[in-house]
Amino acid sequence: MLLEVKDLEACYGKRKILYAVSIAIHPGEIVSLIGHNGAGKSTTLRSIFGLVPPVGGKVCFMDRDVTLAPPDEKLAMGMYHMPQENFLFNDLTIRDNLEMAYFTVDDRSHFESKLKGVYGLFPVLGRRQGQLAGTLSGGERRMLGIGMSLLRDPKLLLVDEPSSGLSPVLFQNVVQVIQAINQNQGAAVLLVEQNVKVAFKVSQRVYVMKAGSIILEDTGKNLMERKEWWDLF
């Protein structure tokens, strides 16, 4: 098992958000987490990564208990969190942002070759590498965020709402890149996404969340074949 989350609980102040959330992800798997706004999906990702410290339960990554490990430790292990909100250095260039993503890697001798790989996947970033990140479009910002994650050779990507603010065409491009990363580099993905059809299509398994709890686990294929989904929300 790559990631095993057992009975995870988290709070914002005195307000409890997550109630005994359990999720499992195998190596190389794409798993989606869906639910209505405010269900606790983003908090689940943040708590797994350590941005919201759990108040109960357990998080194991690569057979190691990382429940209370800080984000930098999880990042070094191969876990990468791509939030929905802005997380780029707007006043730095595209290349500078990519260098910042690689800053904590001890051996920097492979940076240029990895950078070439990112530019190969996203040619627009290579052409505009001197452009400030704050001037990029929504789609380009998502590309840069994914590029930053690729430099770290992630074993697990926690991706929060990649469709947010993107046109359908740009969103589809981002989804295709996530699938390519999964297939070509073997990175597992835990995807939070409001577009349930896309989530069902790309995922081996799907967890449905409601009011801070997991209420259903099923395959993407089975959920895609359902005639209606209103009862899941």
pLDDT, tens digit, 9 for 90 and up, residues 25-48: 999 999 999 999 999 999 999 999
Backbone angles phi, psi at 11, to 5 degrees: -135, 155
- Pick 58 or 174 by higher pLDDT: 58
Total of domains in the chain: 1
**Model confidence band, residue 185 (pLDDT cutoffs 50, 70, 90):** confident
- Structure confidence at residue 170 (pLDDT): 75
Whether residue 210 is predicted with pLDDT greater than 70 in this model: the reply is yes
**What is the CATH number for 194?**
3.40.50.300
Is residue 73 domain-resident? yes
- Pick 40 or 107 by higher pLDDT: 40
Of all residues in the chain, what percent carry a pLDDT higher than 90? 63
- Structure confidence at residue 230 (pLDDT): 67
Is residue 171 domain-resident? yes
- Note the pLDDT tens digit of each residue in 108-148: 788 899 899 899 888 999 999 999 999 998 888 888 988 88
SS3 call for 9 = strand
Alpha helix (H) ranges present in 55-165?
Answer: 71-77, 94-101, 111-121, 123-127, 138-150
For 198-208, b/e burial (b = at least 16 CB within 10 A) is bbbebbbbbbb
Give the burial class of 98: count Cβ atoms within 10 A of its Cβ; 0-12 exposed, 13-18 middle, 19 or more buried: buried
Nearest-5° angle of CA 109, CA 151, CA 146?
160
Nearest-5° angle of CA 172, CA 174, CA 176?
70
Is residue 182 domain-resident? yes
Domain enclosing residue 81, as ranges: 3-85+155-232
Is residue 78 domain-resident? yes
Is residue 216 domain-resident? yes
Neighbours of 12 (CB within 10 A): 9
- Structure confidence at residue 176 (pLDDT): 84
Is residue 68 domain-resident? yes
Is residue 58 domain-resident? yes
Using CA atoms, how far apart are residues 97 and 90, in angstroms rounded to an integer?
9
- Structure confidence at residue 107 (pLDDT): 76
**Model confidence band, residue 197 (pLDDT cutoffs 50, 70, 90):** confident
- Structure confidence at residue 177 (pLDDT): 82
Is residue 98 domain-resident? no
